[in-house]
Amino acid sequence: MLKIGDVVAKNKVVLAPMAGVCNPAFRLIAKEFGCGLVCAEMVSDKAIVHGNERTMQMLYVDEREKPLSLQIFGGDTETLVQAAQVVDRYTNADIIDINMGCPVPKITKCDAGARWLLDPSRIEEMISTVVKAVSKPVTVKMRIGWDEDHIYAVQNAKAVENGGGQAVSVHGRTRVQMYTGHANWDIIKEVKESVSIPVIGNGDVFAPEDARRMLDHTGCDGVMIGRGALGNPFMLYRTVKYLTDGVLLPDPTPREKIRIAIVHLDRLVALKGEAVAVKEMRKHMAWYLKGISGAARVKDVIMELTDRSTLVEVLEQFVSQFEDDGPFKATPAGALAH
């Protein structure tokens, strides 16, 4: 169990808020695969404040996804507060998360994302101001630091706690590392030992055993899975089963992968329309097909497709070569419905 303020997640597994990935179509699959808490992709505070139509659509939360954390980003306290108030009053998200980890230049140039990590006092002031303005729990997702010379993870986590933040997620890389090298779990452990609010560890969790090792090594309260879940929500289910029951389920079969990929596609079509969904699903299909023998040829074909029926036909024809090996093992039954 993971408790953030008065929000209770049924287990320690958390889906990371990945941009361009964590929309309701994928989040609902993650929830059906047993994820204790799902996080929505980051949304611009200024776009919320200005009422941008596409942005407001990104604030939609399906009741079946709850508990859910909705993440906002920005470099200005005033607009972060205004955006947080919109999320607080007009969405059914359970948690308001503030991004202090995004390493992308277009975000950090606006003093947002990982740029916050350079000034703990500024963090405390901002968090305190946001917390006073909303009723939902406020959390932060951050990296350990800006670069090797500016690792203020402990100070920054304390600033979040002192400001009234209810939890902190820590990605064990610096901003300069982006997604290269290795995540430093030792610093996540230092953060956990320095604050009394829940700490969620993030970075280099690609298998259920990695999640167990992170929890054991850092003592953190939850484990956040990001890239390990791309085209692989089975990883979430397998991790939940491993952490709660000690059972290590096998990897999904090709048929399992394709069946869930089609469920994902159809939910995205319902959410965004066929043209947008099929185009967006190309990257997801590449992830779902990863590791399947002979998938390279299919990926090439998929990249040219524009309609749902042809895409499904290509996938089903491809997977028909693999024998049906009976009941699904890596997939919970509830995740099979459209």
Instruction: Write out the two tokens for 47.
Output: 């776009």
What are the Cα distances from residue 102, in Å, to 10, 23, 116, 174, 200? Answer: 27, 17, 10, 10, 16
Mark 177-215 as b/e (b = at least 16 C-beta within 10 Å).
beeeeebbbebbbbbbeebebbbbbbbbbebbebbbebb
Q: Are 124 and 164 contacting, i.e. CB atoms less than 8 angstroms apart?
A: no
Reported as type and span, the H/E element at residue 30 is: helix 24-32
CA distance 230 to 154: 30
Catalytic position from the list 22, 35, 39, 102: 102
Give the closest residue to 36 by CA, choosing from 66, 70, 63, 72. 66
CA distance 192 to 19: 26
CA distance 62 to 80: 24
CA distance 265 to 289: 14
102 is catalytic: yes
**Catalytic positions, please?**
102
